[in-house]
Structure 1
Amino acid sequence: MEFLNPFDDEQQSCLILRNHQQQYSLWPDFSPIPAGWASVFGPAPREQCISWLEQHWQDMRPASQRKA
């Protein structure tokens, strides 16, 4: 039996998290949200979360670098 990392499981329901630097993370919905991050989308199927990220996260640089 093959075990997948839950972060790579295509069937996993996910959240989109954002930190204070306006960076995003795809996060499994069963896992506690880490300190400094907040949920901004989901829970939803992984594919839907990835689509949301592609539409909303155009610049991967931290907010502090974008302002410079």
Structure 2
Amino acid sequence: MFEEDGRLRVVINDEEQYSVWPSDRDLPDGWRAEGTEGTRDQCLAHIDLVWTDMRPRSLRTE
């Protein structure tokens, strides 16, 4: 999928779901940069800290 030593960034969509994406690639439609960049492990550790409710935003607000 992604090179293990490549630089990644944390991305988030309108439903407040997180993922990682290569820093040197354009973001896919519907996703925006969250502000965190680093190794895969660093990005996933950040996601673990901030994504505490895995439900999409639309389900949390009902």
Same fold (TM over 0.5): yes
2:33 to 6, 19, 39: 39
The answer to whether the 8 Å contact 1:23/1:62 transfers is yes
Runs of 4+ in 1 over 2 A off after TM superposition: none
Question: Percent same amino acid among aligned pairs?
Answer: 32
Corresponding position: 1:19 with 2:13: yes
Q: Displacement, 1:41?
A: 2.6
Pair member with larger Rg: 1
Secondary structure in structure 1 of the residue aligned to 2:36:
strand
The answer to whether the 8 Å contact 1:41/1:49 transfers is no
**TM-score, normalised on structure 2?**
0.85
Name the aligned partner's letter for residue 47 of structure 2: L
**TM-score, normalised on structure 1?**
0.79
Structure 1: which 5+ runs fail to align? Answer: none
Name the count of aligned residue pairs.
Answer: 62
Secondary structure in structure 1 of the residue aligned to 2:53:
coil
CA RMSD between the two structures: 1.3
Name the aligned partner's letter for residue 22 of structure 1: E
Structure 2: which 5+ runs fail to align? Answer: none
Secondary structure in structure 1 of the residue aligned to 2:55:
coil
